[in-house]
Structure 1
Amino acid sequence: MRRVVLATAATVSGIVLLLSLKPASDPAAASAAGGAAPQQTAAGQESPQGGSASQTGSQSVTGNVAQTQYGPVQVRLTLTGDKITKAEAVQAPKGGTSDQKTALAIPKLNQEAVAAGSADIDAVSGATYTSGGYKQSLQSALDKAKAAGGTSGSSGAAGASSSPQAPAAQARIVTGNVAQTQYGPVQVRLTLTGDKITKAEAVQAPSGGTSTQKTALAIPKLNQEAVAAGSADIDTVSGATYTSGGYKQSLQSALDKAGG
């Protein structure tokens, strides 16, 4: 009987001990631990958002230096695709009155280059030489950009059409008629790309005595003005009225021959 009592007591004590023990894992704690995981996931989603934006590629192209009577002009372009988004002069005439002319002309020329998207822009009044140099350097920058990007889309164009690509406009040379002046003949030769004057030169001009000095002074100015204006509507050089008049006559005849 005593053994039965002792066994019963031991059994009851064991049951009490088992009931007093709690599981090591608390549901509330498990729930709190589970709530931290979504926060890590949310933090991980921020990274893709920060790196998802992609910028359109742009390129910077610097044109050749164009020498003018008052100093060099050089233009740098920023292009996105084939569109000019920024134009600036990295070199421009300076010193004396050139500072004022540059400050007046360059911002206007920059704006016109972006607006036109080409070198077909107007010369700024009072800054003919700077404008002419700017346009020359601008055109060379556009030519460089075209040459650099010319091969990138050629394969796609070939797949789209079997017709050959249109060749670039070729330069042609036209020589005007000889214009007789009081001091000697003047004859102008033009280089044109399409209908644009890219170079002007005098193959004949008055020489001998003071005419040599006047020719050396006038002809470079007239050549630059012809390129800048793209026509025979150019100013007469002071002190070389006859040479200027003959130059303009021969220039106009060359343009007539070219069909311009």
Structure 2
Amino acid sequence: MKKSHPIRRVMLATAATVSGIVLLLSLKPASDPTAASAQGGAVPQPPAAGQESPQGGSGSQQSSSRARTVVGAVAKTEYGPVQVRLTLTGNKITKAEAVQAPSGGRSTEITNNAVPQLNQAAITAGSADIDAVSGATYTSGGYRQSLQSALDKAGDGGSTGASSSPQAPASRARTVVGAVAKTEYGPVQVRLTLTGNKITKAEAVQAPSGGRSTEITNNAVPQLNQAAITAGSADIDAISGATYTSGGYRQSLQSALDKAGG
């Protein structure tokens, strides 16, 4: 038999060694993070703290109160109805708007000026304890009434503080009638509806009537009623041309407040 040449044996041995090394490298475990990365795969990472998971959860506590909407009762004023809608998050007013307000002629101009101010005041105060807008006494009074009604519906009792403690139920409405005040032109008597110590409705159950007195009463009494609600007291101005009726109204109004303990 013909013997192999020594150089050829060396070359064959070298080739076999190289092939073995290549084979070993190709058999590296696929679970090696480095190998996975080299093949374009991503190494799974645990979610970072506070990072949202695919299910919408979070690694940290993130829940907040949902916004809710409440609409107050319609408050009737001399120039038209006023109704307030509130958006609250928790107990905080985040949006206030008038869904009804006086309109037509001069009323539209007054509403367009007053309502944005009243809306902002409600958000800032967080309650119905807001000032009337100058030149919009009736609209302001109606706005406050409907605003208070919305807060009562929200179970807030008229205050939107940050406390999350349960609110006490709103006070029930009660009616008190003042003493009859005798005037030069006839008796005046006032009846009030109060929620807590707040006047929510005022009306004259007696007022001068007959001839010119009827006309004066029809003009003056609605203004006096609204003024009583707005002021929340008997400290109201007399109506021009109805001095006697205004004086009698104030007397009976004060009497009703005294009976109510206000």
Tell me the TM-score normalised to structure 2 length: 0.76
Superposed displacement of residue 68, structure 1: 1.4
42-51 or 249-258, larger mean C-alpha shift: 42-51
Aligned match of 1:181:
183
CA distance in 2, matches of 1:35, 1:14: 33
68-77 or 131-140, larger mean C-alpha shift: 68-77
Q: Are residue 108 (structure 1) and residue 117 (structure 2) matched?
A: yes
Change (3 A) 1:59 1:217: same
Aligned match of 1:239:
241
CA distance in 2, matches of 1:232, 1:55: 44
Superposed displacement of residue 36, structure 1: 5.9
Change (3 A) 1:56 1:124: same
2:85–2:150 Cα contact (<8 Å) kept:
yes
Change (3 A) 1:15 1:47: farther
2:37–2:43 Cα contact (<8 Å) kept:
no
RMSD (Å), alpha carbons: 3.7
Aligned match of 1:134:
143
Deviations 1:7-29 (A, max 9, x none): x9xx98985664353317176x9
The residue correspondences of 1:47-58 to structure 2 (distance < 5 A) are: 48-49=51-52, 52=58, 54-58=63-67
Superposed displacement of residue 203, structure 1: 1.1
Aligned match of 1:162:
none
Superposed displacement of residue 258, structure 1: 1.9
Aligned match of 1:192:
194
Change (3 A) 1:167 1:136: closer
Structure 2: which 5+ residue stretches go unaligned? Answer: 157-164
Superposed displacement of residue 217, structure 1: 2.4
134-143 or 106-115, larger mean C-alpha shift: 106-115
Q: Secondary structure at the match of 2:85?
A: strand
Aligned match of 2:225:
223
Aligned match of 2:44:
41
1:123–1:229 Cα contact (<8 Å) kept:
no
Superposed displacement of residue 190, structure 1: 0.9
Change (3 A) 1:47 1:250: closer
Count the aligned residue pairs. 243
Amino acid aligned to 2:241? G
CA distance in 2, matches of 1:65, 1:98: 17
CA distance in 1, matches of 2:40, 2:259: 82
Deviations 1:121-176 (A, max 9, x none): 222232110011101110111111118xxxxxxxx97xxxxxxx966423222111
206-215 or 29-38, larger mean C-alpha shift: 29-38
Deviations 1:68-124 (A, max 9, x none): 121221111121211223222222222332233223322332233223322122222
Change (3 A) 1:142 1:168: closer
1:76–1:141 Cα contact (<8 Å) kept:
yes
Amino acid aligned to 1:59? R
Change (3 A) 1:212 1:40: farther
Greater helix content: 1
Change (3 A) 1:101 1:36: farther
Q: Secondary structure at the match of 1:141?
A: helix
Aligned match of 2:216:
214
Amino acid aligned to 1:228? T
CA distance in 1, matches of 2:245, 2:41: 87
1:66–1:72 Cα contact (<8 Å) kept:
yes
Q: Select the residue among 84, 89, 103 that pairs with 2:93.
A: 84
Aligned match of 2:79:
70
Tell me the TM-score normalised to structure 1 length: 0.76
Q: Secondary structure at the match of 2:244?
A: helix
Aligned match of 1:19:
17
